[in-house]
Structure 1
């Protein structure tokens, strides 16, 4: 269907381009015809001018166009040869002649009245101008007929061209239809060929999928075997590691037990050494205590003897009567009084606690 649409669109584009060319040619023909009609009308229309300012006759020296019909070229050659559109006369004189000649419809009686309007012209000149004017009218009629024939020929050519174009389009349409049918047959063949290739591709794809499935199953079986072997190997490694860990734990436990036994033996040994040291220190302290007690007893004995000697000496010195004055015991001595003169009052109160070196319990009370 896409090829048919493409062919239809191509045909539409060709028809559109042909119609555009026809329209361009038609516009060109219309412009040419309009130009020729305006040119012919300019030849027939008399120019209006100011009668107070007569103008000299002008002769156009434009060469005739070779593409124009023979009648048109003959009219232009006649005008150039005879002095332009006024026949060599002044525009004012020519207009007066046309006025009188038209009034009398070209009858010979117009000559008397024309002589009145054209006092500067002779009768022979008026007759010659009349002959020139009749020849001009004859050539203009021939030109008009030539233009009509040219229009008819152009119309015939256009009709012929349109007919040829229609025949060409019909031939092209038939050719395109034949081409479309051929293309359709070719498309059918290509469709069948594509269907055949598609079926072959599907079979090939199915075969490849089956091969891939078989290969996948084989790989899956192989992977399962490998996974099973890997699990067995990992289990063996795990058992080996667990056995090694068990042996290591037993060895560590044995080492710990030995270490604890060694520490226990060292502790017992230290305890025995400490007991021996304590016993030795105790015996030494007992010897020291006994020595101190003996020394204390000796000092007490010596102190008693010294007190006895002092008492004896005092009794020997004091032989008079001494009055008893109990208040002297509370009075300060002279030395204390002198000392108190130089001592300022301090903020310190009575001593509440005296710190001494610690005395072992077993030595207290000795």
Structure 2
């Protein structure tokens, strides 16, 4: 029962931890947008959130360490093979192992579901980086969002059902614990006298499920009634049951209060109120029977007490001696267990220190090897750099020598060109002057001919009257230019040019 409660707390802690991690990631993703906006307030907020996250993780680690320590101590005291109660706790140990296995399986399943949801969200974020203004892209984003929403809703519904089942189990266990506490309180109210003789065999310890069977019939009937009907409020919560009692006392138990209660208590109809009234009447009846049964039980116990007092005085000394022997044996056994545990702890610490020293030595060797490789690589790069510098320097010197040779050759050629081209220049100037005069003469003759042609056309226009008939079809006929274009262009004159005449090259410039 304790292990089941511990498993429930661990599951809740795991859920809160994963929720915190997802929240941190979500805040981290939103931080990018805030960072785009810029500002020192964002940096301060991020720093504060990181500090809170580190503090929460540190607290979680401390709690896990405490849980582990408690588990070890519990194992030493309850599940030790040399313990007197080993057989009694075998069932509890099996139940705890089963619950631990179920918890690990549920943890793996939860992690798988969360990874699936995280993958869907990551896919959606990747799609948002490449936004396309198309209906297909919008439809694709809509499908991804609907998938994520359905997965999250299904996950929440599953967790809700699991937690509701756990709450029902917790309520049942609390009722059983309450019954045990009441039984212990009834024992504590009586004088602490137990009679044991050598001929009497010790009674076996009853389990929590069979505690009610050992109570008086009236008390057992009342406790069984509470377990079956949902406790002292009949399965109703405190507010609804308190309202029911207040209205019932107001009407002094008359049947007219049923309608008033049905309208005053939200979520309850007249049938629920009538059933609760029947339950409450049975509850009061069993409560009175329980009180009477307890009084009778006390009277019987008092008689048994008086009867056993005389025999208790005889066996008290023997019992004290036996208890002292058991106490000394238990103390020796606990001392041996503590010593063994201390030896195991010391051996574990020594082993841990050795492993830590080996790990540090291995890390030092890795760092030294890395430093040697880095130094070797640095020397190689330095040598390559020197070789490159030498090559560049040698190349620059060769280029400088080549430039000097080219410049000197060019200077010689320029000088030769100047001396050889003076006569050619005079001859070219005379030729150009002659061609210019010829071109001017041709232009003047052409202008004179054009002027004469214009005068002749003017005389002809004066002699002939121009009459043109209207012909709209001329707009659709081909022009003379277009007819020339449509003629066959595959003539010999349009073939490839095999020879292009060029101006003659002087002899002094040939070969340059």
Q: With structure 1 as the length reference, what TM-score do the two structures score?
A: 0.31
Task: Compare CA radii of gyration and give the structure with the larger one.
Answer: 1
Higher percent of residues as helix = 2
